[in-house]
Every structure is written in structure tokens, then in C-alpha cells.
Amino acid sequence: MTGAVVTAERSTSLAHDLVMLTKPRIISLLLVTTIAPMFVAGSPGWGLVLRVALGGYLMAGGANAVNMYIDRDIDDRMARTRLRPLPSGRMDPRAVLAYGLALATAATGVFAFTVNVVSAALALAGFYFYVFIYTRWLKRRTPQNIVIGGAAGAFPPLVGWAAVTGRIDLAAIYLFLIVFYWTPPHFWALALLKQADYGRAGVPMAPLIWGERETMRQMLWYTVILIPITLLPAAFGAFGMTYVISATVLGALLLAGIWRVMRARPWTGAAWRVYKFSLLYLALLFVAMAVDRAVAR
């Protein structure tokens, strides 16, 4: 009886670790930015939406697992990551690498055979960009790591758009740019709070190289650029007033939050609120796009 209980506990623990390797909380936002553009691009059936969601989860999960394989040495030095399956010693590195590659391979098959080849190519490009450009090359070399490497997180809107249309056009590029310019202020808010962790791991995040004040100024400037980019699609008729009002209000709230980070003493509470709100900001912005197009139709 005891042996059966132990076996069940081990199975449960392994299942938990396999899910943990995919970083499901991060993927949930990526899926919003994948699926919402599908309803902006057209009127997809729910079968297509479910296939894209499955492929998107598998591809992002595979990228995250390979990321944990590559970063297993520095994850062991950071308080917020040392309990992950690899630094804690619960899983073998080779098994994690094989798992990540298997997920990415399965995702490519889902997209290529049940959606279309363009979406498969874009999803795979996002995988390679995240693994090789960001994780392997930029992350440990430059404080611009999250700026350039953050483009990996901007691929999901392209994937969703291509899943419906079979191509990429100017509207899809604008969605890419929105996520691209959102990424630095979002991630640097967290980097400000976790800079001691990054320092122990030897990762040259912006606050460690540029200093806290310059990082905050960069967050402000990226947000100042982000807000007009979010409104630009409406200028050529891609969205209506529902989206314009939503984007304006959300942008003003994000900008005000970053301004409070710059003014507050201490700024840690304000930075944490900006980080949490930035997640909500992006999700609501993309939902507003889909709602706006639904109202227009």
C-alpha cells in the first residue's frame, strides 16, 4: 500500500514538473496575443482556434523547457528559480532537453498539418529566436538582451494572424510592434525588483549596467513610443472607437504607473504594481482589438 502511495506521489510530482517546465502562466498571456489577432484577422471557427491554442502551447512550452535546460546553471544561483526541476535536481538535463524538443516538434506538426505552413514557420521561428538569439546569445552578454530578444515574444500575433489569413500583412506587423515595445517596460519592472538575483547569476540586466534611474527612464521612453503605436492601426481604419478608447485609457494607466515608479521613494511597491499591471495591460489591449472587430462586424 505504501509503495503504491509513493509511486502515485512520484507520478504526480513528475507531472507537475513537466507542466512547470512549460511555464504555463507565461504561456497564458502568449495565447491571448495569439488568439485575439485571429478574430481581428477574420472569423475563425472554434476548431481552428483550439488547434492554434494547442500548437501555441506546445511550441511555447518547448521553448521554455529548452530555456530552462540552457539556463540551469544560473537558475541555481537565483532565489526565484532555484526550485525549478533542473536546479533542484528533480529532473535530468538531457531528459528536459529531449522533452522541450519533442514539444516543439509536435507543435510544428500541429501547425503544419492542421493549420497552415506559414503559421508553422512563424511559430518555429519564434522558438529558434527565443532559444538561440535571446537565451543562448543575448541574455548573458548585453543589457539590450530583453529589447532584441523580446522580439521572440512578439511572434504569437503573427502566428495567429497567419493561421487565419495564410499570410502576414501590415496590420499583423503593427501587432508585432506593440508586443515588441511593450516588452522592455514590462520586463525591466521585474528586473528592478530582482536585480540582486540577476547580479548573483551574472546576467547583465539593465538596472545592473545602466543603473536604476536610467532603467526607469528607458521604461518611460519605450512606453511613450508604445502608446502611439497602439493607436496607429486605428488611423488607417483597422480599429474603431471601442479599441481607441481602450488603448488610450490602458496606455495612460501604464504611463502613469511608470511615472510613479520614477517619483516614488521607495519605488519597489510602484515597480511591482507596474509589472502586474503590464500583464493585464497587454491582455486587455488584445481583447479590446477582438471586441472592436466583433462590434464592427
Q: Measured at the alpha carbon of residue 201, what is the angle toward residues 198 and 202, in degrees to the nearest 5?
A: 85
Summarised one tens digit per residue, pLDDT across range 172-194 is 999 999 999 999 999 999 999 99
Average pLDDT, stretch 44-59? 98
HSE, side-chain direction, 13 A CA sphere, residue 11: 6
Weakest mean pLDDT among 9-13, 35-39, 159-163, 235-239: 9-13
pLDDT bin (cut points 50, 70, 90) of residue 9 is: low
What are the extents of the domains in the chain? 1-168, 169-297
Task: Check if the beta carbon of residue 285 is closer than 8 Å to that of residue 178.
Answer: yes
Average pLDDT along the chain = 93
Residue of 90 and 4 predicted with greater confidence: 90
Could you tell me the three cell numbers for 138? 543575448
For residues 38 and 47, give the distance between their C-alpha atoms in angstroms, rounded to a whole number. 12
Residue 164 has pLDDT above 60, yes or no: yes
Summarised one tens digit per residue, pLDDT across range 104-146 is 999 999 999 999 999 999 999 999 999 999 999 999 999 999 9
pLDDT bin (cut points 50, 70, 90) of residue 10 is: low
Residue of 295 and 190 predicted with greater confidence: 190
Task: Check if the beta carbon of residue 261 is closer than 8 Å to that of residue 189.
Answer: yes
The yes/no answer on whether domain 1-168 falls in CATH 1.10.357.140 is yes
Instruction: Mark 145-170 as b/e (b = at least 16 C-beta within 10 Å).
Output: bbbebbbbbbbbbbbbbbbbbeebee
Task: Check if the beta carbon of residue 88 is closer than 8 Å to that of residue 54.
Answer: no
For residues 48 and 160, give the distance between their C-alpha atoms in angstroms, rounded to a whole number. 10
Could you tell me the three cell numbers for 285? 489591449
| CATH topology (fold) of 169-297 | Four Helix Bundle (Hemerythrin (Met), subunit A) (1.20.120)
Q: Can you give the pLDDT at residue 4? A: 47
For residues 185 and 271, give the distance between their C-alpha atoms in angstroms, rounded to a whole number. 10
Residue 258 has pLDDT above 50, yes or no: yes
**Identity at 290, one-letter amino acid code:** A
Task: Check if the beta carbon of residue 121 is closer than 8 Å to that of residue 76.
Answer: no
- pTM of the full structure: 0.93
For residues 185 and 273, give the distance between their C-alpha atoms in angstroms, rounded to a whole number. 12
Q: Can you give the pLDDT at residue 57? A: 98
